[in-house]
Structure 1
Amino acid sequence: MAKSPSPQAATPFDILLDYEERSLAHVAGRPEMIEAPGHWRGVGFRLGQRRLVSSFDEVVEILPLPPVTPVPGAHAWMLGVANVRGSLLPVVDLKQFLEGDRTVVHEGQRCLVVRQSGGNVAVIIDELFGQRTFNDSHRTEMSGENDGRYGHFVGQAYRLADQTWGVFNMSLLTRTPEFRQATA
């Protein structure tokens, strides 16, 4: 541990450096960073009638829907591109991609920015529920969470407070050839 500089000889930089060293030496660890066995956390959201959750490792950030510029010749589910802090992000209507029904866009609309090779992509969701934490005792049999096209992306489910949450694999979605080929 660094010695505290004497007040007479210390410069403001030395004092700040001492504060930083002492602070870092006593970091207890944030609760959200501690991995507990049997616990799983993710971002909860709704698509149509389905409550889904995706891993924090797959979701880069959550944004209000930015202004979108349409891309000619793209599938209907590919809404266009958006400029987010100087980076162009493709914006996809996830419900339309999976179900064929367009998401009703409203003022408070949110999108999840998801990692994919070659750059991130923003997917529009119907409703955001925020962080959800589950443990092994919450695992349940799936009952409709993986029907239709969802079956390829939802492999397990959790039940919590009378709600079933399908675990949606965003990494698998972004590797799907149909998703990666947005031109009509």
Structure 2
Amino acid sequence: MVSSPFNTLLSLSQRFNSAKRGLPAQQDIVPACKVVCFSILGINLVVALEELTEIVELPQYTRLPRVKRWVLGIANLRGRLLPIVKLSAFLGDKLSGSAKQQRVMVIDMMGMFVGLTVDRVYGMRHFKIDTYTRNLNDIPDRLAPYADGGFVQPDGTWILLRPSQLLADRRFTEVAA
């Protein structure tokens, strides 16, 4: 018996439909924020990746006279003068990490180019936006003016540091002793 082209197509269609698999379940896509994770004074913090210029090891620097004790000095970073600030000392304490793990996070915004020393940098991570909350009760008072909520993760809460709020603070910008 000779089958017509229509019957052949119908037979093929039925075979493919009987063997097909369903589409995967649709998952909601949650936007993520790229952040750099670091610690200072034993506190886990993050800063948005786009707010950092780079992260470097502590460069050689020259101490400056008549500046507040939390200003380490000034360094030459690829031809630009980089003031280096001990963020922990500005916040009223001292760095707690080993010298090998300490890093300088370079910020270039609002017309200011400055390096902030931190205890340790853990690296870049992607945090889902829906894990962010502004209502954190465990932000230390000394960090509160520069923090903007945080990301609640399985490994703990990471407080979001806003460099723009730090650079806008007159206590930070007035370094003369």
Question: What's the TM-score bracket when you normalise by the shorter of the two chains?
Answer: 0.7 to 0.9
1:102 paired to 2:94: yes
Q: Which residue identity lines up with residue 34 of structure 2 in the other structure?
A: R
Which of 74, 83, 87 is 2:80 aligned to? 87
Q: 1:52 to 1:108 in 2, by over 3 A?
A: closer
Amino acid in the other structure paired with 1:85: R
What secondary structure does 2:89 align onto?
A: helix
1:159: which partner in 2? 152
What is the match of residue 10 of structure 1?
none
Specify every segment of 5 or more residues in structure 2 that has no aligned partner in the other structure, as ranges. Answer: 1-28
Q: 2:104 corresponds to which residue?
A: 111
Written as runs of structure 1 = structure 2, the 5 A alignment for 1:1-184 is 38-98=31-91, 100-104=92-96, 106-140=99-133, 141-145=135-139, 147-184=140-177
Cα distance in 1 between the residues matched to 2:95 and 2:172? 17
- Helix, strand or coil for the counterpart of 1:45? strand
Which residue matches 1:3? none
1:119, CA displacement in angstroms?
3.6
| SS of 2:56 mapped into structure 1 | strand
Amino-acid identity (%): 31
Q: Deviations over 1:87-129 (max 9, x none)?
A: 110000011111x112256134211001233341000000101
| TM superposition score normalised by structure 1 | 0.74
SS of equivalent to 1:130:
strand
* One-letter identity of the residue aligned with 1:152: P
SS of equivalent to 1:115: strand
Q: Tell me which moved more, 48-57 or 114-123.
A: 114-123
Q: Residue 109 of structure 2 aligns to a residue in which SS?
A: coil
Q: CA deviation at 1:37?
A: 5.5
**Aligned partner of 1:143: which letter?**
N
Looking at structure 2, the residues matched to 150 and 81 of structure 1 have their Cα atoms a distance apart, in angstroms, of 24
Measured after TM superposition, the shift of residue 139 of structure 1 is: 2.6
Distance 1:80 1:116 in 2: 19
- Kept after mapping to 1: 8 A contact 2:101/2:120: no
The change in CA–CA distance for 1:138 and 1:118 in structure 2 (over 3 A counts) is closer
